[in-house]
Amino acid sequence: MQEGLDASVLEWLTACVLDALSRDEPVGPVALTFLLGRYAATDREDVGEALGYALAAALEQAPSVSGLAERTPWTLLFAHAARVSDDPRVRDAATNGVGQLSVLWSPDGGSHGVHDISARMRAIEACLVAVQIVESPNLLGAAVNDLERLVAAHYEPGQGMGTLEDQVATASALLTAHGLTGRVPYSMLADELMQVALQTPWASRPFEFNCEAALVCARLAELHSAADYRQAAVTSANDYGQEAARVLSCQLPRVRDLGTAAAPFGLALAQWLNLK
């Protein structure tokens, strides 16, 4: 089942993104986030140089992006990039993105209010990722409070919450909140939501969603591998590493046809390979 799930796929996808950038082709925020991860993992000079130019261009492109689903991945990109870039414009872009998302994710945001649970959860998670970048003492508390309110409004014990996409996006946000706060109930609820999600066939789901689900499974597998966490939490019997491998194996045949659009696969595969 795991045949072909190795670092060579990451190397191919890295080359694919670099080639697109060299030809001035549009490269989206998820592909650039993937490239950031490869730079952090390899410290390759060519990757770092390409990222510098790409982020400079992204700073010009992102302000024209509107809407929650479009703004969220750009905010995530700048939040991650601010950790490796000394360009103050990158930190400013993350700060501006958080400010916009915090309005857009709220159902009370007037004409801009968004009622899609998964979109709101992804926006909240982007703000959580930016907590250590954005100079706002209230950001963590505000994002966690909105996360809890959204869960309280839609979660049903044993049934999860909303659609399959909602389950996975919520689980991802909960894992990020756990990482920042250390609150075990967040990660345990993420585990429960993924148990519910795994009961639903994913074959007909979009490529990006499958990659997101595999990434969450790999994150849970990493968490469950820690002895101190297992002592503090009640964990399920699911082999999340195997689940991630299963989903990634099903998506692998599509990767080379998608090119830079396969970046979500690269993010999930890199997380899964870290389990080894």
d(CA 261, CA 30): 8
Is 273 within 8 Å of 24 (Cβ atoms)? no
Which residue's entry shows tokens 């709220």? 106
d(CA 163, CA 143): 22
Q: What pTM value is reported for the model?
A: 0.93
Local structure of 156: helix, strand or coil? strand
For the domain made up of 7-271, give the CATH fold: Glycosyltransferase (1.50.10)
pLDDT at 104: 66
Domain range summary for the chain, segments of one domain joined by +:
7-271
pLDDT at 114: 47
> What are 240's two structure tokens?
């999340």
Rg for the chain, CA atoms, rounded:
18
The closest of 208, 41, 194, 33 to 129, measured between CA atoms, is 33
Local structure of 96: helix, strand or coil? helix
pLDDT at 113: 42
User: Per-block average pLDDT, block size 10, for the chain (276 residues)?
Assistant: 87 98 94 97 95 92 80 95 91 92 63 68 95 89 94 92 94 98 96 92 84 97 93 89 94 95 98 91
pLDDT at 85: 87
